[in-house]
Chain A
Amino acid sequence: MNEALQRLSDRLDQVTRWVLVPIGIGFIVIVFLGVLTRYVFQAPIISSIELARLGFVWAAFLGAAICFKGERHTQFLFLLDRLRGRGKAGLKSGIDCLAVSLFIFLSWEGLQMVSAVSATYFPALGWSQLWLYLPLPVAALLMLVHGLAFLVRDIRLLADLGGTR
């Protein structure tokens, strides 16, 4: 189960990176085109700001999921750095548990939010607002898988350290 979960987490991370590239490039192009069409061609793309906001929110949350997988989110490490062996593995497992619980909560509540706003629309684009709120549950689900993979890894480490004590 551990290896399957690790593989799933790695594969999802890879897919997230592939998805982030066109979203990121598209977002950059849209903002730049918005400037170009407004000031050079005097023919602004009305929906460019809404598209840019959408692209940014998606890129920010997908980036947060990649960041979580790479364990790059800002955290205080002074306690973790001072602990050794089982103490460290135990604390890391506890942090993983909290992260997993939070991601279950954010996935569920995020989907509720998506459902609640699905009947409202962007004024210029005419698209449903669910596209603005969807990145949160998507990122939370991705981070849930990564969090579970970390949890299984750290519990196994804790068990190994217990066995060799």
Chain B
Amino acid sequence: MIGPLIVCFAILAVLGVPIALAMAAAVAVVMAFLTPFPILGMVQRMITGIDSFVLISIPFFMLTGRLMNVGGITSDLFRFARCLVGPIRGGMAHANVIANMILAGMSGSAVADAGGMGVVVIKAMSENGYRRELAGAITVAASTIGPIIPPSIPMVIYGAMAEVSVGRLFLGGFVPGALMGLGLMALIYWTSFREHLPKDRRYAGAEIWDAFRGAFLSLLTPVILIGGILSGIFTPTEASAVAAVYAFFLCFFVYKTIGVRDIPGIVVDTFVTTAVVTFIISATSGFSYLLIVGKVGTALVEATLAFTKSPWVILLIVNFALLILGCLMEAGVLLILLTPILVPMMKSLGVDLVHFGLVMVLNLMIGVATPPVGMCLFVVSEAAQIRLERLMREVIVWCMPLIAVLFLITYWPGLVLFVPNWLMPGK
């Protein structure tokens, strides 16, 4: 039953049928002809698969990111970050990473971060003597921190599908996100000698204060989000709604960068972008159901345990498989398809599902920065007018610190679990 399902899906997907339709068609054919289950069950699961209070946060995180980009806050953030780290050698590149880390605390999507930050930062860097390809590659790599430092759309999807606390997943992202930033900054510092990268003059205290004041209201967004979740005032979904309304308040009343006429377009665009993800989740719900009734999880666990009983070896294999698949398939699609397959296996091996969630999300985020189907590559190439093949060549070395952090958190779960165990114990 599962073999024909996967073959049918793969053929349709390769032929160019949209992923959601290919999945729905494959499930419908298999349920109709190869199983005794009523076909109405598939339709029911297409609805119940997205009828989740956790998934409701996806459009809110998308809306917050969109409003922050439309509101032009990326320039303020970059200016503030430049005041902090500009005087270090390769200062603007460091500021790029720091600004992306701050933006990561507001938006939950790597692609939104790359699009928002790309135009502003790459222009400024190339005007200051950086090669455009280098500036683009650093922006692509830094944008992958977006879904690791909370909030994070991939973590919401994983949390909803694996039935894991989204709050704990969010908290688990702090240390890996910081390590990714530090890793990139270390590589920038090393590259700065080889490429003779410039550094900024030392900024006066008044300039730093002025830049901080400019970015202050935007910097409150992550405080509202994480503070609200940690204090128990909001659930992650409610926090996402409050952050979106706050971002709207900033853009509409404070910065005045959007007007009443812009609202319908922003709303439609937010829900259309959300629908790209939710329609795949909806179509995949029938697939998850067939995996359960077909006892695929059990079969996979038995086959894996016959090969090895070490969770570390299995995590190594899963990591390599995800890194390769991440280069070939879109990260969101892989996350939705593989979570129902891998989570039962990890559960039976005793791997903490928050730890595995971070490993999986970080791994798949590396995929958005790597050729040939890295979405962030396309966005930055388009936004900054850099030839795609040059950007692809340049970005590979900048993925190395990210891969190093991936393996570090894989084999040192404490790096992920320390913060959630400390701040949200026993949840």
- Nearest residue in A to B24 (C-beta to C-beta)? A102
Give residues 17-46 of B contacting A (CB, 8 Å). 17-21, 24-25, 28, 39-40, 42-44, 46
Give residues 6-57 of A contacting B (CB, 8 Å). 17, 20-21, 24-25, 27-28, 31-32, 34-35, 39, 49, 52-53, 56-57
> Is residue B189 within 8 Å, beta carbon to beta carbon, of the partner chain?
no
Residues on the A chain within 8 Å of B275, using CB: 59-64, 66-67
Contact of B19 among A31, A34, A59, A73 (CB under 8 A): A73
Contact of B242 among A35, A76, A80, A95 (CB under 8 A): A35
> Is residue B63 within 8 Å, beta carbon to beta carbon, of the partner chain?
yes
Contact of B264 among A21, A34, A72, A132 (CB under 8 A): A21
Contact of A32 among B12, B13, B242, B332 (CB under 8 A): B242
> Is residue B55 within 8 Å, beta carbon to beta carbon, of the partner chain?
yes
B43 touches A110 (CB 8 A): yes
B15 touches A91 (CB 8 A): yes
Task: Give Cα A20 to B44, complex, Å.
Answer: 23
> Is residue A106 within 8 Å, beta carbon to beta carbon, of the partner chain?
yes
Task: Give Cα A116 to B39, complex, Å.
Answer: 13
- Nearest residue in B to A133 (C-beta to C-beta)? B47
B241 touches A32 (CB 8 A): yes
Q: Evaluate whether A72 and B272 lie within 8 angstroms (CB atoms) in the complex, with A80-B16, A91-B15 already known.
A: yes
> Is residue B1 within 8 Å, beta carbon to beta carbon, of the partner chain?
no
Stretch at the interface among B76-84, B213-221, B232-240: B232-240
> Is residue B289 within 8 Å, beta carbon to beta carbon, of the partner chain?
no
The minimal Cβ–Cβ distance linking A164 to chain B, given in whole angstroms, is 24
Residues on the A chain within 8 Å of B244, using CB: 28
A24 touches B268 (CB 8 A): yes
Count B-side interface residues using an 8 Å CB cutoff.
Answer: 55
Contact of B55 among A56, A75, A76, A98 (CB under 8 A): A56
Give residues 83-130 of A contacting B (CB, 8 Å). 91-92, 94-95, 98-99, 102, 105-106, 109-110, 112-113, 116
A21 touches B267 (CB 8 A): yes
Residues on the A chain within 8 Å of B188, using CB: none
Q: Evaluate whether A102 and B272 lie within 8 angstroms (CB atoms) in the complex, with A20-B267, A32-B242 already known.
A: no
B271 touches A62 (CB 8 A): yes
B40 touches A74 (CB 8 A): no
> Is residue A79 within 8 Å, beta carbon to beta carbon, of the partner chain?
yes
Contact of B263 among A25, A70, A135 (CB under 8 A): A25
> Is residue B330 within 8 Å, beta carbon to beta carbon, of the partner chain?
yes
A57 touches B14 (CB 8 A): no
> Is residue B195 within 8 Å, beta carbon to beta carbon, of the partner chain?
no
Task: Give Cα A60 to B263, complex, Å.
Answer: 18
The minimal Cβ–Cβ distance linking B290 to chain A, given in whole angstroms, is 16
- Nearest residue in A to B20 (C-beta to C-beta)? A73
Task: Give Cα A60 to B20, complex, Å.
Answer: 13
The minimal Cβ–Cβ distance linking B8 to chain A, given in whole angstroms, is 11
Residues on the B chain within 8 Å of A34, using CB: 238
The minimal Cβ–Cβ distance linking B215 to chain A, given in whole angstroms, is 25
B280 touches A106 (CB 8 A): no
The minimal Cβ–Cβ distance linking A138 to chain B, given in whole angstroms, is 12
Residues on the A chain within 8 Å of B60, using CB: 28, 31
> Is residue A136 within 8 Å, beta carbon to beta carbon, of the partner chain?
yes
A49 touches B53 (CB 8 A): yes
Task: Give Cα A80 to B16, complex, Å.
Answer: 7
23 residue pairs of the A-B complex, CB under 8 angstroms, read: A24-B267, A24-B271, A35-B238, A49-B53, A52-B53, A59-B275, A62-B271, A62-B275, A63-B275, A66-B268, A72-B272, A73-B21, A73-B279, A74-B18, A74-B280, A76-B14, A76-B19, A77-B16, A98-B25, A99-B18, A109-B42, A113-B47, A132-B51
9 closest Cβ pairs, A-B complex: A63-B275, A73-B18, A63-B271, A31-B241, A64-B279, A24-B267, A60-B278, A64-B275, A75-B18
For the A-B complex with A28-B267, A61-B282, A75-B18 known, give 13 more contacts whose Cβ atoms are closer than 8 Å: A17-B264, A21-B267, A31-B238, A35-B241, A63-B279, A73-B279, A74-B280, A75-B17, A79-B16, A98-B17, A99-B17, A109-B42, A109-B43
